């Protein structure tokens, strides 16, 4: 397993290939539907006026995302009432939900990686080639195990979105992932879909 420290350089990103296992160490941020929608509407397409809080959060997350990764995750967090946050479970969310937004978010923030499960589509794959960046697949069903690699919660932004949808800034150590979309236009998810379609066509032909 290859160990990589965040933030990630372009050279390291381009050296990663589909199928490679990676252990990530450093600071990353979670973000799901509400976060991506907020980013697009407020700072990329600018269809809504940013509040003072929006601007403060934007300035806080820019250095984290520049060369960094965003994790599609709705964590279970203890200590929300006291502010002594601890991740209890941190499994990945299905990523395809963010396909309409992800490419634009990657370009805007210079994101080098997206972590989730299930892969993403052609828009995100195109952005991976342009930025450059990769898609990291995290193991679904291993939420408690993954949470063990979260060493501390540094802060949280937009908690008003709700615990699963907020932006949690976390420090991780040897966070296990697999490269399933790389910066060279390769997608394991697209390949699996193509092979599945071929198998289906053969089955239908027999029937």
pLDDT along the chain (207 residues), means of 10: 97 97 97 98 97 98 98 96 93 95 98 96 97 92 79 97 97 96 91 48 53
Which CATH fold would you assign to the domain 2-206? fumarase (3.20.130)
Q: What residues are labeled active site?
A: 36
What confidence score (pLDDT) does residue 191 get? 54
The DSSP string of the chain is -EEEESS--HHHHHH--TT-EEEEEEEEEE--HHHHHHHIIIIIS--SPPPHHHHHHHHHHHHHHTT-EEE-B--EEE-TTTT--EEEE-PBPBGGGGHHHHHHHHHHHT--EEEEBS---HHHHHHHHHTT-EEEEPPTT-HHHHHTTEEEEEEEE-GGG-TTTSEEEEEEEEEEEEEEE-TTS-BHHHHHHHHHHHHHHHHHHH-
Q: Per-domain residue ranges for the chain?
A: 2-206
Identify the pLDDT of residue 146.
82
């Amino acid at each position: 397993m290859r160990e990589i420290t965040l933030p990630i350089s372009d050279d390291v990103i381009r050296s990663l290939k589909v199928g490679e296992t990676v252990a990530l160490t450093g600071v990353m941020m979670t973000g799901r539907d509400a976060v991506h929608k907020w980013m697009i509407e407020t700072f990329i397409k600018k269809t809504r006026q940013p509040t003072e809080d929006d601007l403060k959060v934007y300035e806080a997350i820019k250095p984290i995302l520049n060369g960094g990764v965003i994790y599609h995750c709705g964590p279970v967090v203890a200590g929300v009432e006291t502010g002594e946050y601890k991740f209890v479970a941190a499994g990945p969310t299905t990523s395809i939900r963010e396909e309409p937004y992800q490419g634009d978010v990657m370009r805007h923030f210079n994101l080098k990686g997206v972590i989730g499960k299930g892969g993403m589509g052609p828009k995100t794959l195109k952005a991976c080639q342009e930025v450059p960046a990769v898609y990291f697949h995290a193991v679904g069903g291993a939420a408690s195990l993954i949470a063990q690699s979260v060493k501390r919660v540094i802060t949280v932004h937009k908690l008003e979105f709700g615990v699963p949808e907020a932006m949690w800034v976390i420090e991780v150590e040897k966070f296990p992932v697999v490269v399933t979309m790389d910066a060279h236009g390769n997608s394991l998810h697209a390949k699996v879909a193509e092979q599945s379609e071929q198998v289906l066509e053969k089955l239908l032909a027999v029937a």
